[in-house]
Structure 1
Amino acid sequence: MRVRLQDEEAQVAFGEALGQALAGQGRVYLSGDLGAGKTTLTRGILRAHGHRGAVKSPTYTLVEPYELGEWRLYHFDLYRLGDPEELEFIGARDLFEEDCLCLVEWPSRGEGWLPSPTLEIHLRLVEPGREAELIAGDARGEALLARLAERWPAAD
């Protein structure tokens, strides 16, 4: 599935629709160049689960936890990760449970350590705005894309 996002507002709105479809569970891997909007999309996903505050990319801490009502969400930014084994040292394995939602920016930095994704999202700059390509990583991801296609038009 490929979608066009004309501006930041559309990107956050798409993130909210995605967050509703995710319903607090899964592993979403976000890739794209610096400034492509990975954290902006994450903000929308978090809003769908009730978060109204600022969302910063946890570049130095590697993970930012959010407990939002019944949901446990974890926002990872692996940009500065030196070695995927560092995730083991911070106890990240315990965070990738089935009843959590893990949003991972720069997943290629954790390759070989990270579990397989429910959904991969590749963001790229296109004028005006962004384009997001969504790829299911498993059967849950395929069902999620089908639900999302009902709510959001695909790009031509």
Structure 2
Amino acid sequence: MSEVDESGQSAAGQGDRRVWFLPDEAATEAAGRALIALLPRGAVLFLHGDLGAGKTTLVRGLLRGLGYADSVKSPTYTIIETHDLGFGMLYHLDLYRISDPAEIDFLGIEELYGEGLLTCIEWPQRGAGHLPVPDAEVWLSVDGTGRRLELKVDARRALADPLRNAG
């Protein structure tokens, strides 16, 4: 994995944005393992990217970084996948099938925020206005044969270079 850009403050001035190139699936998973070590307990992480961009692979890396060895599947059809680590929960949500942001209120997921180790939310734009402010956001996109990962971290969390040594 190599850093390809460092752009400083985000447009809103609330966070630092960094960009990396991930040459393969293993590097995407390694990025997740590196990121989990720096996210605070109870963090909310938004995951942006098209279908097949690697969002669930990144979550698998987050889980592996916490010692989780079981299979990890996309919650596209279940909306929520819950992973019990024995010392806390990781919630993985996929809002792709949500057609109206108000549906979020009926799912009861607001009870999850801050309760687990981490809440990862794919397709957060589909829940606009019904989700908490994220502690960090990741954008994944296809870049040739690899992936481009852009990370924005809320400046109040003061994460220093979370992916520097990944991969």
Calculate the TM-score normalised by the size of structure 2: 0.83
Q: Which has the higher helix share?
A: 1
**Amino acid corresponding to residue 162 of structure 2 in structure 1:** L
Whether 1:35 and 2:52 are equivalent positions in the alignment is yes
Q: How many residues align?
A: 150
For structure 1, list consecutive stretches of 5 or more residues without a partner in the other structure.
none
Partner of 1:151: 165
* Counterpart-to-counterpart distance in 1, 2:55 and 2:29: 10
> After alignment, is 114-123 or 128-137 more displaced?
128-137
Whether 1:132 and 2:146 are equivalent positions in the alignment is no
Q: CA deviation at 1:128?
A: 2.6
**Amino acid corresponding to residue 151 of structure 1 in structure 2:** N
For structure 2, list consecutive stretches of 5 or more residues without a partner in the other structure.
1-17
Whether 1:123 and 2:140 are equivalent positions in the alignment is yes
**Amino acid corresponding to residue 44 of structure 1 in structure 2:** G
Match of 1:25 among 28, 34, 42: 42
Partner of 1:100: 117
* Counterpart-to-counterpart distance in 2, 1:39 and 1:150: 21
CA RMSD between the two structures: 1.7
**Amino acid corresponding to residue 111 of structure 2 in structure 1:** D
Helix, strand or coil: the match of 2:81?
Answer: strand
Helix, strand or coil: the match of 1:28?
Answer: strand
**Amino acid corresponding to residue 101 of structure 2 in structure 1:** P
Percent identity at matched positions?
A: 46
Match of 1:109 among 126, 137, 141: 126
Spell out structure 1 runs of 4+ moving beyond 2 A: 149-153
Helix, strand or coil: the match of 2:57?
Answer: helix
Q: Which has the higher strand share?
A: 2
Helix, strand or coil: the match of 2:68?
Answer: coil
Whether 1:4 and 2:21 are equivalent positions in the alignment is yes
Q: CA deviation at 1:28?
A: 0.7
